[in-house]
Amino acid sequence: MEQCLDGRDGRGVPRSEPASLPVGGQEFRRLVLSWTGSMTGDGIRVVALPLLTVSVDPSPGAVGLVAAITALPWLLLAVPAGVLVDRRNARTLLVVAHLLRALLTLAVVGLIAGGLARGGGPFSPGVGIATLCVVGFAITAVETMGDAASQTLLLRVVPRNGLERANARFVTVETLALDLAGPLSAGVLFVLAPWLPFAFSAAAFLVATAAVLRLPATRGDPDTTSTDHPLADIRAGLSRLVRDDVLRTLVLTVAVLAMANAAADAVLVLYSTQVLAMPEQFYPTLLAAYSVGTLLAAALVGRFLRRLRGGQIMVLAIAGLALAMVLLGLWPAVGVALAAYALLGLAGGTWNVLSATRRQRQTPHAMIGRVSSAFRVVAWGVLPIGAGLGGTLGEHLGVPMVFLIAGVVTAVAGLAVARSFWSTEPRGMDDEAPAPDPTGGTGDGAGR
């Protein structure tokens, strides 16, 4: 790394203060263990909380209210949480986030146990809808901080030339823990006792906490873009997102793809049960096919990068997403649907790995919390719009047309950004000299 004459390195960090955590497999494995615990805890909670809500009040209004309030912090607090992470020690904030989520889920255990002790039935916990809304909001609010802190620590543990493999590992863990192990175990545990999944969720967060505590302490990169006013920091992060050509193109593409995906997800259960005439118990097989494709993407993305640049693969991933949705719209058959959802997982997983890497390389270390959180706001913010459009189109044009239109919109978006992605490959705002890939492979190189 270039050294400056004022006794600081190329990012203005005093030589006596390490700019990053020591690079090595052990630190990365601890971060992955933390991510595994966090995703498992979240995976259990995202199923257990709706089940608990239904046991309290089975009305669609109550279930929808708890779901909406639980998701609200991603819109309201994600960017402020990113500012906090950029201004404070990410490791400390991640420990606090994991501990608070553990305590909040343990509080739910206590509330349920208290209700049972007062003579309630096994599925008559001593909590109300208002309490569930508060708990759901609080857990997600803390999650916004933990997610931003994890993104920041990843860049301090992993050299820029190892980001593709690191993100692939994170996608693998997220798929196994958040999409498979967590939800499946939550259903079984809830049947045994309504408090049990929350106890396991808390235990998973405590495992995540222990893993982060074993990471070496660091002050990280001083935020030279920070001001004395958090609102000014928020404006600086959003301004970076809007003014940077690479980030602006990426976030707009993310918004379109997320909206198209939300439209398809909104009618997926109708597509499987009515259009494909699949029994309800086989509906999850489509989601399982998607997860298999995602795991395959995480395993193959490194090989893809030996033949093409990241931006070129991202264009092909968008093409894969569009093709899969068009097939679902034009050819509604069970075999085709399973293959199409596996392709959606393969293309979507590849996109997730490489788009995260592109964002990380294009964002200064000191602003990664704000920029990552802003991306989350965009992705979550368009989901209700996409879901609403999917329901409306499905009602008036038929469910298969939702997939067809989503595929066409995805294809048009891909064509619009193909030139930018194909020709532009970020080298990183804080380029470092090549270093060993802590994930166990040889780095694919930043910015070919």
Q: At residue 8, what are phi and psi to the nearest 5 degrees?
A: -120, 160
Contacts of 240 (CB under 8 A, 6+ apart): 247, 363, 367, 370, 371
Apex 380 CA angle, 376 and 381, nearest 5: 110
Residue 121, judged by CB atoms within 10 A of its CB (0-12, 13-18, 19+), counts as exposed
pTM of the model: 0.70
Other Cβ atoms closer than 10 A to 303: 9
pLDDT digits (tens, 9 = 90+) for 147-192: 888 888 887 888 777 787 888 888 888 888 888 888 888 888 888 8
Q: Would the CATH topology of 25-213 be identical to that of 230-423?
A: yes
Position of tokens 């193109």? 249
Other Cβ atoms closer than 10 A to 132: 25
pLDDT recorded at residue 120: 53
pLDDT recorded at residue 427: 54
Q: What's the CATH architecture for 25-213?
A: Up-down Bundle (1.20)
Using the 8-state DSSP alphabet, how is residue 179 labeled?
A: I
pLDDT recorded at residue 229: 64
Residues in the chain: 448
Give DSSP secondary structure letters for 266-277.
HTHHHIIIIIS-
Fold of the CATH domain 230-423: Growth Hormone; Chain: A; (1.20.1250)
User: From CA 173, how far away is CA 297, in angstroms rounded?
Assistant: 13
3-class DSSP string for 356-377: HHHHHHHCCHHHHHHHHHHHHH
- Segments making up each domain of the chain, as ranges: 25-213, 230-423
pLDDT recorded at residue 315: 95
pLDDT recorded at residue 15: 31
In the chain, which residues have pLDDT < 70? Answer: 1-24, 60, 115-126, 217-234, 236-237, 280-281, 283-284, 424-448
Q: At residue 3, what are phi and psi to the nearest 5 degrees?
A: -105, 140
